[in-house]
Each structure stands twice: as C-alpha cells, then as structure tokens.
C-alpha cells in the first residue's frame, strides 16, 4: 500500500535500507508555501478546522522537503476544546482559554460523554483527505498531547514559563488532578482511535511539559496515563515524546509503545542502553544546528548518525523546527540523512 514505508519499518524494528527522517513542525511557518495559505485565512484555528487547508499544508513538506512521513496539521488543544473548554490562538502570544479548571465545580462544568467524531470531525476529515492526496507515497502520522500537558493548559489557561498553577494543582488537589487526567486520557484514546480509523498509520504523543515535573510526580501524573494510551494501541506504531524528562527515561523505556522520542538534551546511547532493541528511538538533532552553514549541518548530522549503535532509529530534530529556519537548510539535513549508508 505505502510505497515508502521506511518510517513504519523503523518503528517495528524491521530491516531498513537507510534511516527515515521527518521534522516536528515540518508543516508550518518555515515554508513560504505554508505562510501563503495561512495569510489567506482569518487565523490559525481556521487552518486547523478546515480540512482542505489542513490537508494542503500537511502535504507541503512531503512535496517540498522530501520527508519520509507526513504529520497531520492540527493542534493538541483541540482536545480540551472538545471537552468543553474552548481556546483562542492569539497572534504573537499563543493559546488562551477564557475558562480554566481549578476546582471541582469547574471540572463538573466540562461536557460529559462527548462524541469525539462529532466534535473533532475536521481532524478526521483532514486525515482522510490527506490520505487520499498522499496516495500511498509516505505514511501519515496522527497525534495528540499527552494528558499531563493538556492538563497544564486546562489549569493554567495559557502558556507559562513555569506552569506553577498546574504544579500547584497537583499538590493541592491531587484527587481532582487524577479525575481530570483520566477524563483527558479517555477522550484522547477515543480521539486517537478515530485518527487511526481515518487513516493515520502511526501516532505520536507530545508531552511538551514533561520536564517541569520531578520523576516521582511525572510517574504518578504523567506516565501512568501515557501508559493507558499505549495499551489501547497494541497494533499501531506509537511514539512517546516526553520533552525534558531526562530523569524519567528509565520509566519511559518500560512503556508498551514502539518508539521513544528524544529531545536534543537526551543522550542517544543512554536511551539505547535502557531500551536495548525493544524500542525505536526518534530524534534528536539540536534544532539550532539548522542555523549553521551546510557544512556544519552535514557534519553535526553525520556525527549524530555515527553515534547510532542500532538500526532502530527514526531521525528527527530534538524539538520542533524553529520558524525562522531556512527551508534550504532543512533540505541539507534531510539529504544528509537520506544519503547516509547504514
């Protein structure tokens, strides 16, 4: 079915001829073609909620950058919105929620028994349209935020350097935190099942704020729920990307998923020793390398590739590509990986 299935084979630990490569945030501001679509619209959310446009920008990096996988253009905050907590995306500022969840009353006001198919139809439709448009060229990745990160936004109501309201919530209302995390987990599982049904070949969980919790707290409020999600997808390649959770790598290495995403501060060989050959590793070039010259990018990329002691790798950056990176430099990175003999 899929012509270039390197990405899927790497997830499963099957033989590969070369390492597959894609970039987090590849469908986005780095591409002038993306900015052209975006400039015609009222805002970020119109792009997320209009399947035709979401499909167009999802396909762009496949056409323009020759990546080995597409990732559906969407936002992790569609889940809290589906749960009854709408958000706005404010230019230059980031997400903003009119209401937050900091008490049992506020939790009780969330919608119950929601129909994910109905509320998030636009994501599923975008996946279907993308699948058709891709025509089997490369696999399509679906995604969601991990429950802890979604809770962070629902409690804080906006981005934060410290997410101290969210961390306060864990100390002052741990039982309510668990109720909320379980609710997010249940909706997320239904949402990701819908994504697989709509055509997603693989899934990724983004735990952007994993790194602000200590290991014991991340185990209790983070990994516990990620584990439930992994268990719900025994057949689907699934990457868990817990940014910053260096101390939790031993626990993450025990998750029932195929793949662990590494940020640029995580040591690939430390992670390899932990997962042995039981998991694929994804990552983890420092996104700032792409500010360098082609020579620097090639050298740093090869240094990373040479450090790999196994074939079970999917190459990516260690964080989303920064919006002011020159797409030509992204191509140097991708070309270096795709021409590296393993």
Query: What does the binding site for its own copies look like in residue numbers (CB under 8 A)?
Result: 161-162, 164, 167-168, 170-172, 211-215, 217, 244, 246-247, 264-267, 270, 286-289, 291-293, 296, 300, 319, 322
User: How many Å apart are CA 176 and CA 152, to the nearest integer?
Assistant: 13
Say whether 25 is catalytic: yes
- Quick one: 7 or 333, whose CB is closer to its own copies? 333
Sign of the C-alpha dihedral, residues 96, 244, 289, 333? Answer: negative
Torsion from C-alpha of 120, 123, 129, 130, nearest 10 degrees: -160
Cβ atoms of 111 and 102 within 8 Å: the answer is: no
Say whether 322 is catalytic: no
Residue whose pair of structure tokens reads 């981005």 in the numeric block: 159
- Quick one: 84 or 211, whose CB is closer to its own copies? 211
Catalytic residue among 5, 75, 201, 263: 75
Q: Residue 337 CB, nearest distance to its own copies (Å)?
A: 18
List phi, psi (to 5°) of 242.
-100, 90
For residue 156 the two structure tokens come to 């804080």
- Quick one: 133 or 288, whose CB is closer to its own copies? 288
For residue 295 the two structure tokens come to 């020579």
Say whether 38 is catalytic: yes
Say whether 18 is catalytic: no
Q: Residue 94 CB, nearest distance to its own copies (Å)?
A: 10
Say whether 29 is catalytic: yes
Residue whose pair of structure tokens reads 């995604």 in the numeric block: 143
- Quick one: 61 or 287, whose CB is closer to its own copies? 287
Active site residues: 25, 29, 38, 75, 153
């Amino acid at each position: 079915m899929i012509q270039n299935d390197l990405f899927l084979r790497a997830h499963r630990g099957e033989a590969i001829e070369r390492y597959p490569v894609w970039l987090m945030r590849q469908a986005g501001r780095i591409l002038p073609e993306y900015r052209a679509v975006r400039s015609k619209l009222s805002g970020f959310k119109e792009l997320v909620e209009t399947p035709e446009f979401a499909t167009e920008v999802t396909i762009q990096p496949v056409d323009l950058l020759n990546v080995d996988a597409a990732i559906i253009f969407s936002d992790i905050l569609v889940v809290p919105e589906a749960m009854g907590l709408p958000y706005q995306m404010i230019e230059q500022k980031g997400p903003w929620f009119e209401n937050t969840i900091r008490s049992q009353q506020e939790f009780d006001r969330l919608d119950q028994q929601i129909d994910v198919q109905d509320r998030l139809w636009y994501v599923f439709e975008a996946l279907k349209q993308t699948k058709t448009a891709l025509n089997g060229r490369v696999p399509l990745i679906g995604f969601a935020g991990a429950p802890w990160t979604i809770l962070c936004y629902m409690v804080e109501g906006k981005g934060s350097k410290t997410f101290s309201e969210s961390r306060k919530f864990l100390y002052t209302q741990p039982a309510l935190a668990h109720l909320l995390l379980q609710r997010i987990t249940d909706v997320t599982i239904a949402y990701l099942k819908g994504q697989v049904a709509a055509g997603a070949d693989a899934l990724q969980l983004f735990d952007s704020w994993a790194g602000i919790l200590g290991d014991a707290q991340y185990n209790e409020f983070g990994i516990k729920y990620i584990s439930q999600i992994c268990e719900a997808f025994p057949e689907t390649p699934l990457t868990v990307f817990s940014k910053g959770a260096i101390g939790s790598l031993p626990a993450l290495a025990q998750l029932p998923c195929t793949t662990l995403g590494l940020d640029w501060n995580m040591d690939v060989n430390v992670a390899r020793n932990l997962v042995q050959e039981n998991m694929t590793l994804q990552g983890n070039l420092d996104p700032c390398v792409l500010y360098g010259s082609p020579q620097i990018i090639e050298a740093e990329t090869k240094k990373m590739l040479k450090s790999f002691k196994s074939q079970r790798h999917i190459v990516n950056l260690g964080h989303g590509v920064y919006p002011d990176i020159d797409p030509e430099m992204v191509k140097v990175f991708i070309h270096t990986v795709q021409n590296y003999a393993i």
